[in-house]
A and B are shown apart, each in its own frame.
Chain A
Amino acid sequence: MKFEKITLEKKYHDAVEHWRRHYLKDYDSLLENWEKYFPEDEPFCLCAKLELGTPETVPVGEHAGEKKRLKPDQLTEEEAKHLLAIIRAQASTEFGSIQQHSGTLERAQDDEDRFWVLRVMAEELRHGYQMFHLLLSQDWTHVSGGVKGEEMVEEILSMQTGSHVLDAFNLEYDSFVDNIVFAALIDRVGKYQLTMQKACAYKPMADSMPPMLREEAFHLAAGVIPMRRWARRAAEGSPLIHMGMIQKSINKWFPRGLEMFGDERGGESNVRMGFKDMKNRQAQDLYIEEVRRMVRDINARFLRARFPEYTPDKVDQALEELEKSRGTHRGVAFDELLRLPDRRFFRRKGEPAFSMVGFEGEEFTDVEAYLRHVADHLPEAYLASRDLKNYFEVLRQVAAGKLTVAEGIMKMPKLKRVGGNCPCSRAVRWVMEEPAAPAGGRPAA
Chain B
Amino acid sequence: MPDLKTAVRIRPLDELDIGGIVRIDERISGSHRPDFWESRVMYYLRRDPQSSQVAEADGKLVGFMLGDVRAGEFGLEEPSGWIERFGIDPEFRGRDLGRAMFNAIAAHFRELGTTRIRTLAAQSDAVTGFLTRLGFQPAPLVALEMRVPGASQEKQ
Contact = CB atoms under 8 A, between A and B. Distances in A.
Interface residues of A, number: 28
Contact of B42 (A221, A297, A311, A312): A221
B34 A228 contact: yes
Given A220-B14, A225-B15, A232-B34, A38 B46 contact: yes
A105 interface: no
B34 A221 contact: no
Given A221-B15, A224-B15, A229 B49 contact: no
Contacts of A293: 16
A290 B16 contact: yes
A41 B47 contact: yes
> What is the interface of chain B mostly: helix, strand, loop, or mixed?
helix
Contacts of A300: 19
Contact of B14 (A2, A38, A217, A232): A217
A214 B38 contact: no
B38 A218 contact: no
A221 B32 contact: no
Given A217-B49, A218-B45, A221-B45, A297 B38 contact: no
A219 to B, nearest CB: 9
B46 A41 contact: yes
Contacts of B45: 217-218, 221
Contacts of B70: 40
Nearest to A291: B16
Nearest to A316: B23
A275 B39 CA distance: 36
A294 interface: yes
B26 interface: yes
Contacts of A1: 48, 111-112
A2 B46 CA distance: 17
The contact size tier of chain B is 20 to 34
A215 B85 CA distance: 22
A304 interface: yes
A301 interface: yes
Contacts of A225: 15, 18, 38, 41-42
A294 B112 contact: no
A84 to B, nearest CB: 30
A308 interface: yes
Interface of A: 1-2, 38, 40-41, 53, 214, 217-218, 220-225, 228-229, 232, 290, 293-294, 297, 300-301, 304, 308, 311-312
Given A224-B16, A311-B26, 10 more contacts: A2-B113, A38-B46, A40-B47, A217-B46, A221-B45, A223-B15, A224-B15, A225-B41, A229-B38, A300-B19
22 contacts: A1-B48, A40-B47, A53-B111, A214-B50, A217-B14, A217-B45, A217-B46, A218-B46, A221-B15, A221-B45, A221-B46, A222-B42, A225-B15, A225-B18, A225-B42, A228-B18, A290-B16, A293-B16, A297-B18, A301-B19, A301-B34, A312-B27
